[in-house]
Structure 1
């Protein structure tokens, strides 16, 4: 971390929605992530809320960083209502920095097929999926920056 100034920003992921179990479209079925929350209003003024696909955290982060050596910054804020990031006080943002490691691997048997999936996303030793599981069904605005 002492050479942070020399690091290059590789990717910035901005998520805004609700913490939940997101479909992975593979044998794992679902994993912790951020669901897209889309509000629509009918001509009669009825508000419809759709929790669309979303961002399956461990699967997407494994795809982005894999086995390479990366540094990441994760910042987020949660609440009971949708979050407007322009109105968030910087003092209440949870932040995690450090080496990033992601895993998302399926295990199979020749006899029974799919068995389980190992998954994880740690930043500076902080288990981000485990932290998010404490915020299930709450709204979140999360920004992940990946550096090399």
Structure 2
């Protein structure tokens, strides 16, 4: 779930080759995340054992978030979808507020990532953006909202 203390911002120390600040991710797993791993790991271990596995090693512990290691996450957000340009980067067709002919399709439009495997939602986003692009072309351009 989203928390105000999890956010993206521009790093005040690190810069790219052009001198522009790098994107900084401020995030760590919450107690709820740790409890979920403990519960699901134990439950999966029980199921696998019941299926007849000789050896069961259930993952029931989760450490701190570490961006350099794959931790079964889908890092999302950064180009948030919303209802106004003051609080979001794209409208509900995934059309940029300030660049009308640019549609951003992908998990960057998520305000947060509430779980694993966002494939279904991303597919819905792609269909919504396609609908917006068709509407945009039919209207000869312009903002869709």
**Fold shared by both chains (TM-score > 0.5):** no
| Higher strand proportion (structure 1 or 2) | 1
Taking CA–CA contacts closer than 8 Å with sequence separation of 6 or more, which of the two structures ends up with the larger relative contact order?
Answer: 1
Q: Which is greater in Rg?
A: 2
Coarse TM-score class (shorter-chain normalised): under 0.3
| Higher helix proportion (structure 1 or 2) | 2
Name the TM-score, length of structure 2 as normaliser: 0.24
Name the TM-score, length of structure 1 as normaliser: 0.23
